C-alpha cells in the first residue's frame, strides 16, 4: 500500500522546478529525503521505500539534468544541488529532515547539510561521500575521462528500443547479481526518452561533466566528509561498480573517520547496496533509526 508513489514537481526558486518521486508514509509518519547517483534517477530508491513500508515517508529527488528534472538547466555542482535539496525540504515543511544520498548523492547530501544546517537533522550516506581518487601523474581531465567515459558513451548511444536498453543493463556485472526486478526495470527505463532512430538516456551530459569534474578538482567539495564532525551513518558495499574489488570506500576510511557510524553490507556491490534486497533493507533500517533519533 505505502510503496505506491506519486510524481510531482516542486519549485526550488528562480523559476526552476525539480521532479520528485514521493512514497507517502502512514498518517503522522516522518519523511526522509533521498538523492541518487551521478547518472541515476529517483526511482533507484524504490526498493528502500518498499522496505520502509510507510513507517517513514520517502521523497526521492531528481537532480538537475536527470530523470523528471532532465529539462531543468544549471548551474550544476554539489553546492547548487544541495541548495535545491534544502529548498524541497523547506517547501514540504519537513525541516529538519533526514537526508540520504547514494554515490554522488552522498556528496550532495553533505553539501546540503553544511550549507543548510537548519534543514538537515541526520545524514545517511550510501557508498559515497569520500573524495574520488585521482591516480598519481594523471591530470584531472584525464581522470574525469577515465571516470565518466563509459557513462558518457552510454548517454550518447541511441538504442533501437527499450528492450535492447534493458538487455544492456541485465548484462552489467553488478545488475547480473540481483537480476532486473520490476522495480529495477522501472528505474533503468525511466532514464529513456524517445529520439529519432530510437531511444537514448535523458541525462544531460553537461551536468555529468560538471558534477564529476567538481568531485575531482574542488578541494572544498572533496573534503566535505572529513570536515563533518557530527556523526553520519555510512553504509558501504564490499565491491565496486563492476561488482569486483576494490570497494568504492576502502576499509581504511573507517579508521580514518571514526566519528561516523559505519556499516558494511556483505556481498553487496556499488549498485546492489541500494537496489538489492539486503542493501535496501539495511538502508531502510538506517533511515528508521535516523528518524527515531531526530524525533
* Helix intervals (H) in 92-128: 104-115
Which residue in 250, 275, 52, 104 sits closest to 178, CA to CA?
275
> Could you tell me if 42 and 36 are in contact, meaning their C-beta atoms sit under 8 angstroms apart?
yes
For 76-154, list the strands marked E by DSSP: 97-102, 120-126
Q: Decide: helix, strand or coil at residue 5.
A: strand
pLDDT of residue 177: 82
pLDDT of residue 151: 86
Which residue in 138, 148, 137, 14 sits closest to 83, CA to CA?
14
Estimate to the nearest angstrom the gap between the alpha carbon of 105 and the chain centroid. 4
Q: Decide: helix, strand or coil at residue 34.
A: strand
pLDDT of residue 138: 81
pLDDT of residue 3: 58
> Could you tell me if 208 and 153 are in contact, meaning their C-beta atoms sit under 8 angstroms apart?
no
* Helix intervals (H) in the chain: 46-52, 78-91, 104-115, 140-156, 162-170, 173-176, 182-189, 205-217, 219-222, 224-227, 252-256, 272-275, 277-294
pLDDT in single tens digits along all 295 residues of the chain: 565 899 999 999 999 999 999 999 999 999 999 999 999 999 999 999 999 999 999 999 999 999 999 999 999 999 999 999 999 999 999 999 999 999 999 999 999 999 999 999 999 999 999 998 887 888 777 887 887 888 889 999 999 999 999 999 999 999 988 999 999 999 999 999 999 999 999 999 999 999 999 999 999 999 999 999 999 999 999 999 999 999 999 999 999 999 999 999 999 999 999 999 999 999 999 999 999 999 8
Numbers of helices and strands, H then E, in the chain: 13, 10
Q: Are strands 120-126 and 233-237 parallel, antiparallel or unpaired?
A: parallel
> Could you tell me if 294 and 30 are in contact, meaning their C-beta atoms sit under 8 angstroms apart?
yes
The percentage of residues in the chain with a pLDDT greater than 70, rounded to a whole number, is 99
- Domains in the chain and their CATH numbers? 5-132+206-294 (3.40.50.1820)
pLDDT of residue 295: 81
pLDDT of residue 150: 84
Which residue in 72, 65, 24, 19 sits closest to 42, CA to CA?
19
Q: For residue 127, give the C-alpha cell.
A: 557508498
- Is the CA virtual torsion 149, 81, 26, 273 positive or negative? positive
pLDDT of residue 73: 94
Cis status of the peptide bond prior to 54, with omega within 30 of 0: no
In sequence order, the 6+-apart residues with CB closer than 8 A to the CB of 221 are: 77, 78, 79, 107, 111, 214, 215
Amino acid at each position: 500500500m505505502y510503496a505506491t508513489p506519486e510524481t510531482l514537481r516542486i519549485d526550488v526558486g528562480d523559476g526552476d522546478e525539480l521532479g520528485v518521486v514521493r512514497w507517502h508514509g502512514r498518517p503522522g509518519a516522518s519523511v526522509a529525503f533521498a538523492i541518487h547517483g551521478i547518472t541515476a534517477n529517483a526511482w533507484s530508491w524504490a526498493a528502500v521505500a518498499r522496505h520502509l513500508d510507510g513507517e517513514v515517508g520517502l521523497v526521492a529527488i531528481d537532480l538537475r539534468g536527470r530523470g523528471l528534472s532532465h529539462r531543468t538547466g544549471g548551474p550544476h555542482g554539489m553546492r547548487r544541488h544541495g541548495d535545491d535539496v534544502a529548498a524541497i525540504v523547506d517547501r514540504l515543511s519537513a525541516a529538519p529532515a533526514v537526508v540520504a544520498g547514494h554515490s554522488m548523492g552522498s556528496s550532495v547530501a553533505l553539501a546540503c547539510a553544511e550549507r543548510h544546517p537548519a534543514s538537515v537533522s541526520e545524514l545517511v550516506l550510501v557508498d559515497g561521500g569520500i573524495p574520488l581518487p585521482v591516480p598519481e601523474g594523471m591530470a584531472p581531465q584525464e581522470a574525469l575521462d577515465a571516470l565518466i567515459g563509459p557513462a558518457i558513451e552510454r548517454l550518447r548511444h541511441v538504442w533501437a528500443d527499450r528492450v535492447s536498453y534493458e538487455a544492456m543493463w541485465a548484462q552489467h556485472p553488478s545488475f547480473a547479481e540481483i537480476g532486473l526486478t520490476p522495480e529495477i526495470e522501472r528505474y533503468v527505463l525511466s532514464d529513456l526518452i524517445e529520439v529519432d532512430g530510437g531511444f537514448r538516456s535523458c541525462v544531460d551530459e553537461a551536468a555529468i561533466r560538471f558534477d564529476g569534474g567538481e568531485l575531482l578538482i574542488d578541494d572544498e567539495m572533496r573534503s566535505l566528509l572529513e570536515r563533518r564532525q557530527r556523526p553520519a551513518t555510512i553504509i558501504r558495499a564490499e565491491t565496486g561498480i563492476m561488482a569486483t574489488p576494490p570497494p568504492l570506500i576502502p576499509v581504511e576510511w573507517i579508521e580514518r573517520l571514526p566519528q561516523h557510524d559505519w556499516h558494511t553490507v556483505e556481498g553487496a556491490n556499488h549498485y546492489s547496496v541500494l537496489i538489492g534486497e539486503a542493501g535496501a533493507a539495511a538502508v531502510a533500517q538506517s533511515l528508521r533509526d535516523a528518524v527515531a533519533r531526530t524525533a
